Amino acid sequence: MAEYKAPLRDMRFVLNEVFDAPSLWARLPALSERVDPETAEAILEEAGKVAAKVLDPLNRTGDEEGCHWEDGVVTTPKGFREAYQTFMEGGWCGIGGNPEYGGMGMPKMIGAQIEEMIQSANISFGLYPMLTAGAALALDSHGSEELKQKYLPNMYTGVWAGSMCLTEPHSGTDLGIIRTKAVPNADGSYDITGTKIFITGGEHDLTENIIHLVLAKLPDAPAGSKGISLFLVPKVLVNDDGSLGETNNVTCGSIEHKMGIKASATCVMNFDGAKGWMVGEPNRGLAAMFTMMNYERLGVGVQGLAAAERSFQNAIEYARERLQSRAPTGPACPDKVADPILVHPDVRRMLLTMKANNEAARAFSSYVAMHLDISKYSDDDEERKRSEALVALLTPVCKAYLTDRGLEACVFGQQVFGGHGYIREWGQEQLVRDVRIAQIYEGTNGIQALDLMGRKVAANGGKFYQLYEQEIQSFIQAQEGNAALQPYLAELKSAVADLTRATRTVLERAAQNPNEIGAASCDYLDLFGVVSYAYMWARMVAVAAEKEAGDSSGFYTAKLKTARFFYDRLLPRRASLLAAIESGSDSTMAMEDEQFSLQY
């Protein structure tokens, strides 16, 4: 298995050249005081070293050993505690945290690149700080000043971890039917009772305390999702002076035995009258928790990219070294018994598909992160609201499309390895197992598609979509005089027209038939994703074409060749997606329930 190498050159290209992040940071008052190009460069360089030197060596051993549970105690694999200590001492746990409480306050555009490197090196390890960061964000956004002062500093340093406790044994996505109860006490605290499952990092030995954010219902709560409140429930109670007190009534009943991410503890958590404190307003907990969930959804999308990047690195190294048959045009290496498999068109198809999707994904996730930064830090109300709308629209696309392509890339990498891809020692089968969960947790990709089509498009009559469409059309118009972009602009314009046509078709049909949204949603998200990648590639071509002549490294030439492959071989998939969407819901819904199993 290849040693991980952080793709710093491509990250710099996306941040500095495609999106000109330094100029954005300079004009956003809060960020201008915290970050400049030199600071960003130093942070990314150091994160790459931590990922490659500290986390990558533990990836396979952590998978082999996994986490262990005994009498409620969870032990992480050998080396994880030491690696976490190094990670914590480097300040990585609070990279995006609020500086008022000890965080570094770095922009999400930097945070997304750091997350990619950590997850590429070791997905299981990366989940622990990822959940802590999300919990801290929700607490910072919705918690009282007292709670923030008491808990955030130690979460930002990494001394304490965080978790998100939503799902229950009988309740998956439908959180409105959760049974966990919160009974108020005279002192303002609540007694939390219930069981949560699939809790990432719910229990482990990396930190001295774990701060759980728990969804529960008050005794007089309205039925359904409108009756959910959010509570902070520490594993160990915290005294008024900040020291640790008694153990709370929170226990880990077991850990799941999973297909992948085996070094990440996925726990069943039992709350037996555990002390908790409300975060936000009564019966508004789901809205508060969505602050964390949306953070994690973008992070899971980046996780899909991270696994895909690692798969590509492994596969390209193997393809250069593995000798098998001769090139169709004749021996490429006549002095050897055979040619490297990189000469074969089908191997190149898989490698280029990985490369084209990965680089588009890096640009797209950075684009979404850019709008997160604008929505958080801009002092222009109109600009901030526009970015908030784009983040809402694009988050489900980022989560689902990046993870779908992530699994595809890991399977392609496995295929490049051939028989060795099926063998544990080569690492590819672990990537396939690890990344598979990314399509499931934080809302399955089918749920993301429903969220996109139903809530983010149909619910507002396509207004969010129109903002995105207008931006792409403005880019096309602005580049009409750019000769280098002419081979791309007509195709991009046609692709956007297809997406707009699909949007209008579903909206019109859904007014008469509610099934149209669900029947179209997954194909619609895929169409949205491939068109968005085409937009990202057009923006990258605009930069690369201008700089190619003066570049001796070949970086920009490779960009242009990869862009051409994407437009020639991957973008045409939009035609079949549009046809499927326009076929409607009739054939999907025609079968009677009992007819699904008449052949048995």
| Rounded Cα gap, residues 406 and 307, in angstroms | 6
| Rounded Cα gap, residues 392 and 371, in angstroms | 10
What separation in angstroms does the CA of 456 have from each of 211, 225, 463, 521?
31, 19, 9, 11
Token code pair at residue 579: 């046809």
Place of tokens 């992040």: 21
Q: CA angle, corner 4, sides to 400 and 326, nearest 5? A: 90
Pairing of strands 244-247, 236-238: antiparallel
Token code pair at residue 25: 């940071």
| Rounded Cα gap, residues 107 and 224, in angstroms | 36
Phi and psi torsions of 461, nearest 5°? 65, 25
| Rounded Cα gap, residues 593 and 600, in angstroms | 14
| Rounded Cα gap, residues 150 and 109, in angstroms | 28
What separation in angstroms does the CA of 364 have from each of 195, 305, 496, 539?
37, 10, 16, 11
Catalytic residues: 442
* Cβ atoms of residues 215 and 142 within 8 Å: no
* Cβ atoms of residues 84 and 128 within 8 Å: yes
Q: Which of 95, 112, 110, 133 is closest to 298 using CA atoms?
A: 112
| Rounded Cα gap, residues 306 and 111, in angstroms | 13
**Cross-strand pairs, 75:** 68
Distance of alpha carbon 183 from the chain centroid: 35
| Rounded Cα gap, residues 96 and 112, in angstroms | 10
Q: Which of 273, 296, 245 is closest to 136 using CA atoms?
A: 296
Distance of alpha carbon 572 from the chain centroid: 26
Q: What residues contact residue 541 under an 8 Å CB cut-off, 6+ apart?
A: 484, 485, 488, 559, 560, 563
Altogether, the residues listed in the chain come to a count of: 600
| Rounded Cα gap, residues 134 and 296, in angstroms | 6
3-state secondary structure at position 57: helix
Hey, how many other C-beta atoms are within 10 angstroms of the C-beta on 146? Answer: 10
Question: Which H/E stretch holds residue 149?
Answer: helix 145-157
| Rounded Cα gap, residues 485 and 31, in angstroms | 33
Token code pair at residue 205: 């030995």
